[in-house]
Chain A
Amino acid sequence: MITLNINKKNYNVDVDPETPLLWVLRDVINLVGTKYGCGMAQCGACVVHLNGEAVRSCVTKVSRAVGQKVVTIEGLSEKNDHPLQKAWIELDVPQCGYCQSGQIMSAAVLLRENKNPADKDIDAAMAGNICRCGTYLRIRDAIKLAADKQRKGI
């Protein structure tokens, strides 16, 4: 039995320690906001926070998360009111939406470390999250809007 701390809650799961964290999140704990894209750390759809870092859960063995703090899109904010989530809704960023939880989780690390990111910072931080619908320009705008909301505390 493995104990995981996910979104500030402890879960006891009976899984092989080699199992990818994504499988445990989606299939065992039923937190399905995190998506499976490529299964080889190439697309970013499965990004979750492990001790605050934007790891790709499809290649992260669940054993790496034991004793650590995992945050998924479901736990990013209490009421879906993270500045990024607000900006995403305001600018209607998603098209199909499949990659967007990974996009937001990556953007959250950027905004934590850089309160006022320029285009080049956003491009560098988000280069590992791909979007088949091509929502990149709206993502960039939404990150700037969220940064503004974060600075103003709204």
Chain B
Amino acid sequence: MKLHSKFGKTYFLPIKTIAVLSIFLSVIVLMSFSFKNGSTTTKNKIINKDSVESVRAFMDVYKVLMSPRCMNCHPAGDVPLQGDDSHIHTMLPQRGKDGKGIYAMKCMNCHQPTNLEGLNKPPGNPNWHLPPATMKMVFEGRTPNQLAKQIINPKTNGNKTLQQLIEHADDGLVKAGWNMGEGRTVPPMSHEEFKKAWITWIKTGAYAPKQ
């Protein structure tokens, strides 16, 4: 601390105190940039922020993702769900490491590359599988807040960037949700409406609802 004298008065200029305060202030300012109130934590680049529109769009997305056609293959356990009431899949087929089943109970042993005609016949897709054991991507039981954060985080979304997430709306297995064969209720909006809500959610900042 230096001793100053002006107009005959002597006082101390607290240079060290000012320096310490400046450092604290800088840290606070920097930290304020790294916490985004209400938005998801992600390494992905966010585009045009609009938290209200983003959350509204996600709530539409959420309705689809929690419908049986999507949620049944994103179970909380290691056995898929089945039917419009999302009961545990009969025969208890297990996820397996790669999400494609185990031993004599692999998904494609029953699920063919295409749907089969008739009620209660196994629906089909060439890429039928659950998420792998290393990244289960659970939908069942997730709140909108939890699911939004899970989807936007590359560590829990299959290592997808925002651009890859946008493209995922047209993934073959995602679109199959609207064509699961006779007797199965389709998601609560068209794929086109879903895709629009999905992209709006992401492009307006991929905000997570509070609840």
User: Residues of A at under 8 Å CB distance from B?
Assistant: 40-42, 47, 53-56, 59-61, 64, 105-107, 109-110, 113-114, 121, 124-129
Cα of A127 to Cα of B80 in the assembled complex, Å: 14
CB-contact partner of B108 in A53, A109, A110, A121, under 8 A:
A53
Q: Closest residue to A103 on the B side, CB-wise?
A: B104
Cα of A15 to Cα of B108 in the assembled complex, Å: 23
Q: How far is the CB of B56 from chain A (nearest CB, A)?
A: 41
**Can you sample 24 A-B contacts with CB below 8 Å?**
A40-B116, A40-B118, A40-B121, A40-B122, A42-B90, A47-B104, A53-B106, A53-B109, A54-B106, A54-B109, A55-B109, A59-B122, A106-B104, A109-B103, A109-B104, A110-B103, A113-B102, A125-B102, A125-B104, A125-B105, A126-B104, A127-B93, A128-B91, A128-B109
Cα of A129 to Cα of B104 in the assembled complex, Å: 9
What is the size, in residues, of chain B's interface with A at 8 Å between Cβ atoms? 20
Chain B residues, Cβ within 8 Å of A107: 104
* Given A40-B118, A40-B121, A41-B122, A125 contacting B103 (CB threshold 8 A): yes
Given A124-B103, A124-B105, A125-B103, 4 more pairs with CB closer than 8 A = A40-B116, A56-B109, A124-B94, A125-B102
Q: Closest residue to B102 on the A side, CB-wise?
A: A124
The SS class assigned to the A binding surface is: mixed
Chain A residues, Cβ within 8 Å of B122: 40-41, 59
Q: How far is the CB of A89 from chain B (nearest CB, A)?
A: 21
